[in-house]
Amino acid sequence: MKRRLVGNSLIILINRVVQSVTTFALTLGIARILGPFELGQYMLAVAYYFLFMAIGSQGLKVLFVRELSRDIQQAPKYLGNGTWLQLAFCAFCYAALVIIVWVLPYTEDTAQVCYILGLAIIPFSLSNVTETIFQTFNKLHLMAISTVPIYIVRVTLSVVLMKLGYGIVVIAWIQVVSEVIILILQWLFILRFLKPQWRIDWSFLKTTFLMSRSFIVIEGVTVLQTRLQAVLLSLLAGEVIVGLYGAITQIMQPFQIINHSIIVSVFPTMSKSVVLGMEQQKKLTQRVLEALLLFALPTIVIIFFLGEQLLIFLYRDPEFALGADALKITAVALISVAVYRPLGYLLVANRLEHINMREVIITTILGLAIAVPLIGRFQLLGAALVYVIMQLSSFIQYVYAVYSELFKVNVWATVRRPLLLSGLTAVVLLIFVR
């Protein structure tokens, strides 16, 4: 059992890392080859795609995993009827995406990219059902086999076609086709060991729909929180500014990958430490926070010294240097991210996930309240400020929750070595850069 849990965790981790790395590589390729305007079109389309995909599928996926974990004999019904329900959800969400993009004042080219990339909602959402089956039957290696090679081929083909002169519309179609291929591969694997129940069970569909509502709200609000800036920037500032903002956020991607990898890897141990007492949880939490801050603080120092040069070097276009100030502002939020995300997992380990739900709602409402005035006045800098304020809101809420519900972290013991390392980094940069 222990070997299986470790293996499954590694498979999920590898899948996430490959997905993140290829996403970063594709964004880098679009920026270098096509420029900030096309990158803005792509990032806007991705924002709408993720928003409506999360509403239409992620809530059902969480519910399916929970229910099948309790009764695996229901797998044929969930595979067949769950697919019908998922298809209805994602079709509705794609129609909503098309209507919203059509109503908003986007150019015809930008709207077309959103329409095409949005089609990926359907195969991606349906693959959530198949991945639930893999997870239930402890066959996550089949998920990795069907996704990791496609991710790599997708980004490679996209870069080659862009160098041959093809534009962002073709790249959007590649995204859609690749998701269809992943779905087909996963179904071929599943049909080898499970036969779906295609006969529609209306009682099952109704019950599942009613149970899924809270999960849909949680996932939808969470994605809205993360994609809010891109949508508002597109309406208030245009595609070029969206492209610059996307370039900035992608620079943070390596840290996000490290952050996610460490947290996911330690979460099983964190959950186990709950039964060992508060002192064990405290020691583990402090070690995790220290490890993440060891990456976060030096990264902030490097960005403050080399942010502009980094943008030009990565994207090979001086126009991206316009995002240097916004990059420095956004980098400050790495401190909050390094702290509140592991604390969020700590709360879940202690069955306090209602605090996570409360935090998501409060932070999203705050973001909506401040986004329009700040982005409307300061555009790219305003988006960076909104991001930092929202991350700070999450930081304050999670720190307060852990202090009040669980224990107090030894702050100096946690930040001493990260501060020393960032100080040494600053000294080196002062000597060799200035």
Q: Which pair of structure tokens corresponds to residue 239?
A: 């595609």
Measure the N-to-C terminal CA separation of the chain; round to a whole number of Å: 55
Among residues 156, 187, 342, 354, the alpha carbon closest in space to that of 258 is found at 342
Residue 184: the pLDDT is: 93
Same domain, yes or no: 165 and 280: no
Q: What is the residue type of 87?
A: L
Q: Are 1 and 131 in contact (CB under 8 A)?
A: no
Q: What is the mean pLDDT of the chain?
A: 83
Q: Is residue 430 part of a domain?
A: yes
CA distance 126 to 53: 10
Same domain, yes or no: 364 and 281: yes
Same domain, yes or no: 257 and 238: no
Q: Which pair of structure tokens corresponds to residue 177?
A: 């086709």
Rounded to the nearest 10 degrees, the angle between the axes of helix 278-315 and helix 253-272 is 170
Average pLDDT rounded to a whole number, residues 367-387: 86
Same domain, yes or no: 182 and 58: yes
Q: Is residue 51 part of a domain?
A: yes
Same domain, yes or no: 187 and 120: yes
Among residues 91, 77, 170, the alpha carbon closest in space to that of 125 is found at 91
Same domain, yes or no: 283 and 360: yes
CA distances in angstroms from 189 to 134, 195, 297, listed in the order given: 9, 11, 44
The pTM of this model reads 0.75
Longest pairwise C-alpha distance within the chain: 71
CA atoms in the 13 A half-sphere facing the CB of 252: 24
With tokens 């998920």, the residue in question is 143
Same domain, yes or no: 237 and 256: no
Residue 28: the pLDDT is: 85
CA distance 270 to 306: 36
Same domain, yes or no: 34 and 133: yes
Among residues 197, 429, 199, the alpha carbon closest in space to that of 307 is found at 429
Q: What is the residue type of 10?
A: L
Using one digit for the tens of pLDDT, what is the confidence trace for 30-42?
A: 988 888 888 889 9
Q: Which carries the bigger pLDDT value, residue 264 or residue 105? A: 105
Same domain, yes or no: 281 and 360: yes
Q: Are 97 and 83 in contact (CB under 8 A)?
A: no
- Structure confidence at residue 1 as a pLDDT band (50, 70, 90): very low
Same domain, yes or no: 16 and 121: yes
Residue 66: the pLDDT is: 64
Q: Are 332 and 384 in contact (CB under 8 A)?
A: no
Q: Which of 95-99, 104-108, 232-236 has the highest mean pLDDT?
A: 95-99
DSSP-derived 3-state class of residue 348: helix
Same domain, yes or no: 367 and 402: yes
Residue 143: the pLDDT is: 80
Q: Is residue 369 part of a domain?
A: yes
Using one digit for the tens of pLDDT, what is the confidence trace for 207-259?
A: 877 776 666 666 666 666 667 777 778 777 777 888 888 888 878 877 777 77
User: Is the predicted pLDDT of residue 65 greater than 70, yes or no?
Assistant: no
User: Is the predicted pLDDT of residue 307 greater than 70, yes or no?
Assistant: yes
CA distances in angstroms from 373 to 70, 245, 335, 364, listed in the order given: 48, 17, 25, 15
CA distance 380 to 178: 32
**Domain edge (last residue) among 195, 219, 242:** 242
Any idea what DSSP says for residue 73? G
Q: Are 353 and 214 in contact (CB under 8 A)?
A: no
The mean-pLDDT minimum among 8-17, 197-206, 370-379, 422-431 falls in 8-17
**Domain edge (last residue) among 214, 242, 270:** 242
Range of the domain at 298: 252-434
Among residues 249, 238, 297, the alpha carbon closest in space to that of 27 is found at 249
Instruction: Name the domain count of the chain.
Output: 2
Percent of residues in the chain assigned helix, strand, coil, to nearest 5: 90, 0, 10
Same domain, yes or no: 381 and 237: no
CB atoms within 10 A of CB 66: 12
Q: Is residue 95 part of a domain?
A: yes
Any idea what DSSP says for residue 119? T
Average pLDDT rounded to a whole number, residues 79-108: 88
Q: Are 162 and 34 in contact (CB under 8 A)?
A: yes
Distance of CA 394 to the CA centre of its chain: 16
Using one digit for the tens of pLDDT, what is the confidence trace for 170-217?
A: 999 999 999 999 999 999 998 888 888 888 878 877 887 777 666 666
Q: What is the residue type of 206?
A: K
Q: Is residue 268 part of a domain?
A: yes
CA distances in angstroms from 21 to 60, 74, 148, 152, 309, listed in the order given: 27, 36, 11, 9, 21
Q: Are 397 and 362 in contact (CB under 8 A)?
A: yes
Using one digit for the tens of pLDDT, what is the confidence trace for 8-20?
A: 556 666 777 787 7
CA distance 352 to 421: 34
Q: Which pair of structure tokens corresponds to residue 84?
A: 């019908």
Q: Is residue 247 part of a domain?
A: no
**Domain edge (last residue) among 209, 242, 275:** 242
Residue 220: the pLDDT is: 66
